[in-house]
Amino acid sequence: VNKRQITDLVDQSIQINTHCFVVTADNRYILVCGFWDKSFRVYSTETGKLTQIVFGHWDVVTCLARSESYIGGDCYIVSGSRDATLLLWYWSGRHHIIGDNPNNSEAVLTGHDHEVVCVSVCAELGLVISGAKEGPCLVHTITGDLLRALEGPELCMQPRLISVSSEGHCIIYYERGRFCNFSINGKLLAQMEVNDSSRAILLSSDGQNLVTGGDNGVVEVWQACDFKQLYIYPGCDAGIRAMDLSHDQRTLITGMASGSIVAFNIDFNRWHYEHQNRY
């Protein structure tokens, strides 16, 4: 069987992680960054064929994110780069290409002093939240205006993962196991430290639950608002590198460092109910 592979080589200095890939809402295309020519590229998931090369940055593109999709599959794509800027693009679900932004401009988001390493975009709130190798995370509007910086506690200066809910909560994971929950107005709502190097985080669709996984190979579920632990799965025999939830929020898929894929049953409602009763 012919393997569907992305054979184009990424820049040697790029560490491949979940931020290098975005899949469109219909699962038919995958966007990939990290190429030496400062582009990011669009591939068909069915055939593995390259369908578009997108240029715009002055240095290697280091991370990608997409917003939730509108009817028809249109969505915003944000690319972050080693050039310390982010660019906002528009994906056309009808034409399956990065096309013209309906706001008539490709917004340029500035303010970071270092390479951008993580980004999240929420079309409902009209916001882009991004983190560089060092320094505070920044909140921009979709039109490119810088609103504020999310200043973490003293040791939270190296953001690595970001997840934003449409309710306006922003979960940021920093180096050395530190998590913070900010309101988009910049208020620090909760923080915690875990004994794991997290590689993937995601929020449930209602923004109430946070799922984390990392080098220890353990999937943990937390209450997003205050980081109370709701559930912990038995450990896997390899580190977790990527995670996603099915549309019905009942199955969690994890990509492991060993190359295998593991599926977990997940029941947010039950754990939430049990947690309420316990306390």
Note the pLDDT tens digit of each residue in 3-19. 678 888 888 888 888 99
Three-state DSSP at 99 gives strand
Percent of the chain with pLDDT over 90: 78
Max distance between CA atoms of the chain, in angstroms, equals 55
The string of pLDDT tens digits covering residues 162-191 is 999 988 889 999 998 999 999 989 999 999
- Give the position of tokens 């582009």: 39
Q: Check if the beta carbon of residue 111 is closer than 8 Å to that of residue 146.
A: yes
Q: Terminus-to-terminus CA distance in the chain, angstroms?
A: 54
The pLDDT assigned to 100 comes to 64
Q: Which two tokens stand for residue 94?
A: 């009808």
CA pair distance 278, 96, nearest whole angstrom: 48
Q: Model pTM?
A: 0.92
Among candidate residues 34, 51, 32, the one with its CA nearest the CA of residue 97: 51
The string of pLDDT tens digits covering residues 78-128 is 999 999 999 999 999 999 999 766 665 578 999 999 999 999 999 999 999
Q: How many CB atoms lie within 10 A of CB 27?
A: 9
Q: Check if the beta carbon of residue 232 is closer than 8 Å to that of residue 220.
A: yes
Q: Is the pLDDT of residue 214 over 80?
A: yes
Sign of CA dihedral 69, 101, 78, 188: negative
For the chain, which domains are there? 1-150 (2.130.10.10)
Q: Check if the beta carbon of residue 214 is closer than 8 Å to that of residue 239.
A: yes
Q: Which two tokens stand for residue 227?
A: 């980081």
The pLDDT assigned to 1 comes to 52
